[in-house]
Amino acid sequence: MILFALLLIPFSYLMLGLLIKKSGIKQRLALLFATVNFLWALALVPIVQFREIIVVQMGSWAAPYGISLVADRFSVLMLVVAAFVFFLTTIYATQSVDKARRKNGHFFFSFGILMGVNGSFMAGDLFNLYVWFEVMLMSSFILVSLGGERQQLEGSIKYLILNLISSLFFVAGIGLLYGKLGSLNLADLSQKMASATDNLAVLNPALILIFVGFSIKGALFPFFFWLPASYHTPPPAVTALFAGLLTKVGIYSLVRFYTLFLYYDHGFWNEVVLWMGGLSMVIGVIAASSQYDFRKILSFHIISQVGYVVIALGFFTVAGLTAALFFLVHNMLAKTNAFLVAGWVHRERGTLNLKVLGDMFNKSPVWGILFFISAFSLAGLPPLSGFFGKYLVLKAGIEADQIFITLVALFVGLFTLFSMVKIWMEVFWKRQPEDIAQPAPINLKPANWMLFSSVVMALAIVGMGLWAAPIVDYCQLAAEDLLTPSKYIDYVLGYH
């Protein structure tokens, strides 16, 4: 029940959403259920610290025959951060999303995404992971297209088609893997692969297909093009939710897949992962530098930032995985908050074109400071969370003798700083151009709840930097668990 509740909470909201017609009640219920989901996820932290891995066998069917819900330190970390991001973006959406979209199901489909995210982080078998991916895809597609504007529909079609291709690769790989090993339970598959190391070549087609599926979901090179084509089209509150959760589920799945399966052939996969991560960093940051739309710059930086996580995974050491987990959490917070600030700018000025914007710091120094915290955390300035995230990645790279890719990461950090300074100067510091026609503001009413969400997120970013040591310690324990797949196998299959 303790894990199943994280599926039951969003499911209960979805059922109530079908029965209740008044949008005001739906909104209040959304805030209540988002709060309960966050508190429930937070309560798992001391439990997993004591029990190490929580396993629930649905319907009392023992693994590998039944459906297993599994939460180790890594899963719980992701559940907590995802719940925190969802809680704050839900509060933000009460003022950011227009009344028509709220009435037509914004919160309903947001909880569909939450259910898919929670299910993905706890899935103990590949088929159920695929099911939760599809739940996220259906809900996110509707959120992207909700409103029916031309730009949205173009973005949503690209988003849907390319993510369906990802699902096709994933389900084809699942079918091939089941045909070879006769199981879909993650622990059981890992155990069977451990006993068949001399014949792993026959599994490579299935593993490659699944790897490509996760890479598309995580927006890694060369499969990232769907993200910048679609993330700038929906309302900023939706983009913030997507940036904080959706690509991170793909990266979570890749880390889980790598540490349970791909490490058996680490000589090959390490090189693949390092090259993909490195190219994602470089291409993402260079593409971002050439953009003049606030959200497009941030969208390309999603690609660049997940590259840091992937190269740290490719180091495949305790230090590398510790850095990957810490950086992943940092990025979920900082990137989401940068999009929250973009949403406020869009609300006040009716545009996110950097050439048209300006003088926003004088309009609201508080929002300027909030962007400064988020942007320069992404750039890696101390004492913010991004500084420690990048420091851990660079340190792990040097210790793993991956000097070239470490220098690439350092180089990318300089370009990230350039992009963030560019936004700061163009949006917040320079005088607003008087010779360019200004779009009408979308809404000039007070945005107190939007401000609340961004302030809390910014405090979390600062707090993660100031109190990095205990978070790094937790990430190190999670990394050690990931590098010991036998522990995961023993708990899930009941040997422990």
The pLDDT tens digits for 272-301 are: 899 999 999 999 999 888 888 888 888 888
Q: Say if residue 441 is preceded by a cis peptide, omega within 30 of 0.
A: no
Q: How far apart are CA 390 and CA 63, in angstroms?
A: 39
Q: What's the mean pLDDT in 304-321? A: 93
Which of 195-204, 275-284, 463-472 shows the lowest per-residue confidence on average (mean pLDDT)?
Answer: 195-204
Helix, strand counts (H, E) of the chain:
21, 2
The pLDDT tens digits for 98-130 are: 887 888 888 899 999 999 999 999 998 999 999
CA distances from 428 to 65, 110, 322, 463 (A): 57, 31, 35, 24
Nearest to 387 by CA among 375, 399, 370: 375
pLDDT of residue 433: 77
Q: How far apart are CA 281 and CA 220, in angstroms?
A: 9
Which of 78-82, 319-323, 364-368 shows the lowest per-residue confidence on average (mean pLDDT)?
Answer: 364-368
Nearest to 111 by CA among 34, 43, 21: 34
What ranges in 379-426 are assigned the alpha helix state H?
A: 385-399, 403-423
The pLDDT tens digits for 144-155 are: 887 666 776 777
Q: Domain count of the chain? A: 1
CA distances from 8 to 33, 226, 490 (A): 10, 31, 27
Range of the domain at 387: 5-493
**DSSP reduced 3-state for 430:** coil
- Are the beta carbons of 287 and 221 closer than 8 angstroms? no
Residues whose CB falls within 8 Å of the CB of residue 55, separated by 6 or more in sequence, listed in order: 63, 68, 69, 70, 124, 491, 492
Categorize the per-residue pLDDT at 166 as very low, low, confident or very high, splitting at 50, 70 and 90: confident
Stated pTM of the model: 0.94
Q: Which tokens go with 140?
A: 């996110």
Nearest to 92 by CA among 455, 443, 444: 455
In terms of average pLDDT, the best of 49-53, 235-239, 301-305, 354-358 is 301-305
DSSP 429: I
Q: What is the mean pLDDT of the chain?
A: 88
What ranges in 261-364 are assigned the alpha helix state H?
A: 266-289, 294-315, 318-349, 360-363
Backbone φ and ψ of 56, nearest 5°: -125, 125
